[in-house]
A and B are shown apart, each in its own frame.
Chain A
C-alpha cells in the first residue's frame, strides 16, 4: 500500500516570497491533516479536512496561509508571503476517520 506522498522534500525561499506544498494521501483516506513542526518541537495541527471540507483550521494563520483539498483527494498548502518564523517541516497526514494518522516524509522549508 502506498503511503502519504509529499513534495517537494526541501524548499528554500526568501522572506516575502510565496511557496506551495503538495500532498497525496493514502487511497481511501477521507481525513487529511497538515501539521507544522518547528525545530525542536512536536508537530502542531494547522488544518484538518474531511473529504473536501474543512473540519478545523483554528490554528492556521489565515492572513498568510491557505489550504485546499479539491475533489477530496490531493491537497495543497500555500504560504504567501513567507516569514522567517515559517521555517519548519510541514507534515501531511491522512486517516480513515479515526485518530490513527499516517504521515508523509514532510517538506522542510527554510525561509532566509
Chain B
C-alpha cells in the first residue's frame, strides 16, 4: 500500500524568505507524485506533478519540486515566499496499478510573516 508523510504540520516563514516543504512517500514502484495547495474554504489546486523524466519539476506560482528516488522524497521549494502563499499544502502519490487513486499526506500549514 502506498503512503505519504509530511513531517512538518506547521511552518512559518518571513515574506521574501525561501521555503522547503518536506514529503516522503512509500510505494514499491515508480510513483506519480503531486503537490496540491488548498486555501481556506477552497478545493485543491494542483501546483505541480512528477510522472517521469527530469527529476526537477516546475509548477505554477514559482514553485518547484525535486524527486529523489534514493530518499523516497518529493520536497517542494520556492525561492521567495509571498504573503499570498499562506495556505495548506498537500503532497500526494498515485499509481496506475493502484486504480489511479491518490493517497495524501496530512498536509503542512504555511504561515507567512510580514
Contact = CB atoms under 8 A, between A and B. Distances in A.
B106 A56 contact: no
**Interface magnitude class on chain A:** 20 to 34
Contact of A31 (B42, B49, B100, B104): B100
A100 interface: yes
Given A42-B107, A99-B94, A108 B41 contact: yes
Contact of B100 (A40, A42, A44, A98): A98
A63 B42 CA distance: 29
Contacts of A21: none
Interface string A68-112: 000000000000000000000001010101111111111010000
Contact of A48 (B41, B44, B90, B99): B99
Contacts of A104: 43
A20 interface: no
Nearest to B90: A42
B29 to A, nearest CB: 12
A101 B102 contact: yes
Contacts of B94: 99-101
Contacts of B49: 100
Contacts of A48: 99-101
A19 interface: no
B80 to A, nearest CB: 27
B63 interface: no
B90 A33 contact: no
B43 A98 contact: no
A62 B45 CA distance: 29
Interface of A: 4, 31, 33, 40-45, 48, 55-56, 91, 93, 95, 97-106, 108
Interface of B: 4, 32, 34, 36, 41-46, 49, 90, 92, 94-96, 99-107
Given A42-B106, A100-B49, 17 more contacts: A4-B43, A31-B100, A40-B107, A41-B107, A42-B4, A42-B104, A43-B44, A43-B102, A56-B101, A91-B44, A93-B44, A99-B100, A100-B46, A100-B94, A101-B102, A102-B46, A105-B43
